[in-house]
Amino acid sequence: MPRVFPLLTVLLVSMVAVNPCFAKKKGGGGKGKGKAPAVHAERDKISSVSAQFISVVHEKMNYAGKKTSITPITYTYTITKFTTVEIDGKRSTVADLKRGMRVTVAASGAPGSEPPPAAGSITATRAFSI
Q: What is the mean pLDDT of residues 110-128?
A: 84
Q: How many CB atoms lie within 10 A of CB 51?
A: 9
10 versus 27: which is more confidently predicted?
A: 10
Distance CA 124, CA 80 (A): 17
Task: Report yes or no: 102 and 44 within 8 Å, Cβ to Cβ.
Answer: yes
36 versus 112: which is more confidently predicted?
A: 112
121 versus 39: which is more confidently predicted?
A: 121
For the chain, how far is it from start to end, CA to CA, in angstroms?
Answer: 75
In this prediction, residue 5 has a pLDDT band, given cuts at 50, 70 and 90, of: low
Task: Report yes or no: 83 and 107 within 8 Å, Cβ to Cβ.
Answer: no
Question: Residue 28: its pLDDT value, please?
Answer: 47
The pTM for the full model equals 0.60
Q: What is the mean pLDDT of residues 68-78?
A: 81
Question: Residue 29: its pLDDT value, please?
Answer: 47
29 versus 95: which is more confidently predicted?
A: 95
- Which stretches of 1-130 are assigned E, i.e. beta strand? 39-49, 53-64, 67-87, 90-92, 101-107, 118-128
Question: Is the confidence at residue 103, as pLDDT, over 70?
Answer: yes
Q: What is the mean pLDDT of residues 28-43?
A: 52
**For the chain, what is the mean pLDDT?**
75
